[in-house]
Amino acid sequence: MTTTTPLEKDSSPSSEEKKSDTEHSDHRMFGLVTFLVADGMTFAGFFAAYLTFKAVNPLLPDAIYELELPLPTLNTILLLVSSATFHRAGKALQNKDSNLCQKWLLVTAALGLAFLTSQMIEYFTLPFGLTDNLFASTFYALTGFHGLHVTLGSILILIVWWQARSPKGSLSHDNSFLLEAAELYWHFVDGIWVVLFIILYLL
Residues in contact with another protein by CB under 8 A are 1-10, 16-17, 19-21, 23-24, 26-28, 30-31, 34-35, 37-46, 48-49, 52-53, 56-57, 59, 130-131, 133-134, 137-138, 141, 145
C-beta separation of 39 from 190 below 8 A: no
For another protein, the closer CB: 60 or 203 = 60
For another protein, the closer CB: 12 or 125 = 12
Closest C-alpha to 134, from 63, 201, 62, 200: 63
In the complex, minimum distance from the CB of residue 55 to another protein, in angstroms, rounded to a whole number: 10
In the complex, minimum distance from the CB of residue 134 to another protein, in angstroms, rounded to a whole number: 5
For another protein, the closer CB: 62 or 70 = 62
First and final C-alpha spacing in the chain? 59
Q: How many CB atoms lie within 10 A of CB 196?
A: 20
Distance CA 71, CA 118 (A): 7
In the complex, minimum distance from the CB of residue 46 to another protein, in angstroms, rounded to a whole number: 6
Closest C-alpha to 197, from 129, 189, 93: 189
In the complex, minimum distance from the CB of residue 194 to another protein, in angstroms, rounded to a whole number: 19
Residue 15: which region, alpha, beta or left (left: phi > 0; alpha: psi -120 to 50)? alpha
For another protein, the closer CB: 50 or 161 = 50
